[in-house]
Amino acid sequence: MARNVGPQCRMCRAEKKRLFLKGDRCKGAKCPITKKRNPPGKGPRSRAGKVSDYGLQLREKQKLKRTYGMLENQFKIFFAKAERMKGKTGENLIVLLERRLDNIVYRMRFASSRSQARQLVSHGHVKVNGKKVTIASFIVKEGDVIEVRENSKNMVVIKESLKEYTKSGVYPWIEIDPDAMKGTVKALPLRSDVTDLADLNEQLIVELYSR
């Protein structure tokens, strides 16, 4: 499975936004966004100036792609699927990304980050409707039941991640039983449900791929 193995904090600095690529560790005082560090690259003066329309579109695409931990070819495949669906392509894209199994595992608090959730899925620790699924990009449907396999329920990383459920809960379209380490997709998410991407302008991504 292809994945981005570069420095994750560098991505947050590039987007000038906390992407939570390291999960709860991104909330600490050591986060480069908290420290207000400059974006990577040359000095601030060389980066000053007006950003072109293309630059704005690219930044929005990179922000969304990096948030879900995807590479360019994977992202293009999902965009092509979103184009074929009814409705607004940008909203369809975000809903499709939210329905990825690794994202659902993360949203259900079985993992503290999407990269950790992707690892749990690929290592066979997760079942969908009673069957083991090891494909992180598997698209869940309404009514699907996602659970941690019996032999994996003693994993410390999962127990630690579930502590976040008592603090923050989960999105309204998801229901979980933390004791059984099982959750259900009650409904398909809407664009308005993805509150941590409220500042993202997905229409710019559509314009970028329409060039």
Confidence (pLDDT) at 14: 55
Q: Give the C-alpha separation, 149 to 124, whole Å.
A: 8
Question: Is 100-188 CATH 3.40.50.150?
Answer: no
Closest CA to 118 of 134, 98, 107: 134
pTM: 0.79
Q: Does residue 168 carry a pLDDT above 90?
A: no
Q: List, for residues 53-75, the tens digit of each pLDDT value.
A: 999 999 999 999 999 999 999 99
28 has pLDDT over 60: no
Share of the chain above pLDDT 70, in %: 77
Mean pLDDT (whole number) for 123-142 = 97
Higher pLDDT pick, 181 / 46: 181
User: How far apart (Å, rounded) are the C-alpha atoms in residues 195 and 153?
Assistant: 29
The pLDDT value given to residue 137: 96
Q: What is the mean pLDDT of the chain?
A: 86
Query: N- to C-terminal Cα distance for the chain?
Result: 29
5, pLDDT greater than 80 = no
- pLDDT tier at 17, thresholds 50, 70, 90: low
pLDDT of residue 164: 87
3-state DSSP call for residue 24? helix
Cβ–Cβ under 8 Å, residues 161 and 109: yes
Residue 1's pLDDT is what? 46
- Same-fold call for 8-97+197-209 versus 100-188: no
Q: Are 16 and 22 in contact (CB under 8 A)?
A: no
For domain 8-97+197-209, give the CATH superfamily.
Ribosomal protein S4/S9, N-terminal domain (1.10.1050.10)
Band (170; pLDDT cuts 50, 70, 90) = confident
The structural domains of the chain, with segments of one domain joined by +, span 8-97+197-209, 100-188
Confidence band (pLDDT; 50, 70, 90) for 166?
A: confident
- Structure confidence at residue 169 (pLDDT): 83
